[in-house]
Amino acid sequence: MAMCYFLFVYLFYEEDALLEKYVKKGGMGMTQKVLVQDADFIGKNKDHLKWMQYALKLAERSRDEGEVPVGAVIIKDEKLIAEGWNQPIDRNDATAHAEIMAIRAAGEVLNNYRLPDTTLYVTLEPCTMCVGAIIHARIANVIFGAPDPKTGAAGSVVDVFSADCHNHQVRVNGGVMMNDCGQILREFFRERRASKD
């Protein structure tokens, strides 16, 4: 099974220059780790593909606005309560990642700075800042799409979720619709490189 993941991840990132850097860092084992899904949770949650698809639509919104395409939604009681898409350039705000925008919107909806019993879907593995915000917000579950071998903080580069210093544990699953979630990023960066040539 591990080998299948290795092959899959390798093929997935084959075109990506990041892979070379990643392999050199010896991070591939970490990618296997973040892709191991909690079969119980994923199996019971029939909507996870629907919500990731929704997050992907929000990633397209980022792309259409010239931002790195990442989208996120927050679900509570099987209902969507907040959405966010990456928009740091537009907002002149380095913290305006999709997850942060969704967390802010969910806080307004619930009238609470904590978001217990919620699930956050995001198309890309969260960075250290977003993992920190997710923990502070007491989000129960995180499901992400594509692993991020450059800045992923759910196991790809570092595993902030597993650090002993937190008194809140988040259930994390990665690799849901990773192909589609990664594809939009690859296309975005390819087009950006092409436009600079």
Residues with a catalytic annotation lie at 99
Rounded to a whole number of angstroms, the minimum distance from the CB of residue 126 to Zn ion is 5
Closest separation between CB of residue 195 and Zn ion, Å?
25
Nearer to Zn ion among residue 45 and residue 160 (C-beta): 160
Residue 131 Cβ vs Zn ion, minimum distance, rounded to whole Å: 8
Choosing from 74, 106, 130, 160, the residue that interacts with Zn ion (CB under 5 A) is: 130
Total residues contacting Zn ion by CB under 5 A comes to 4
Window of 13-21, 49-57, 95-103, 175-183 that interacts with Zn ion by CB under 5 A: 95-103
Q: For Zn ion, which stretch binds (CB under 5 A), given 53-61, 90-98, 117-125, 160-168?
A: 90-98
> Nearer Cβ to Zn ion, position 7 or 162?
162
- What 3-state DSSP class applies to 180? helix
Q: Which three-class secondary structure state does DSSP give residue 90?
A: helix
Task: Give SS3 for 3.
Answer: helix
Q: Cα(18)–Cα(121) distance, rounded to whole angstroms? A: 24
42 versus 88: smaller Cβ distance to Zn ion:
88
Please tell me whether residue 97 binds Zn ion under the rule CB under 5 A. Answer: yes
SS3 68: coil
* Cα dist from 134 to 18, 60, 63, 93, 155, whole Å: 26, 23, 23, 18, 15
- Whole-number minimum distance, CB 66 to Zn ion, in Å? 18
Neighbour order of strands in the sheet with 71-76: 79-85, 71-76, 118-124, 141-146, 171-174
Report the C-alpha gap between 22 and 79 in whole angstroms.
37
Binding piece for Zn ion, criterion CB under 5 A, among 13-21, 41-49, 89-97, 162-170? 89-97
First to last CA, the chain: 41
Chain contacts with Zn ion (rule: CB under 5 A):
97, 127, 129-130
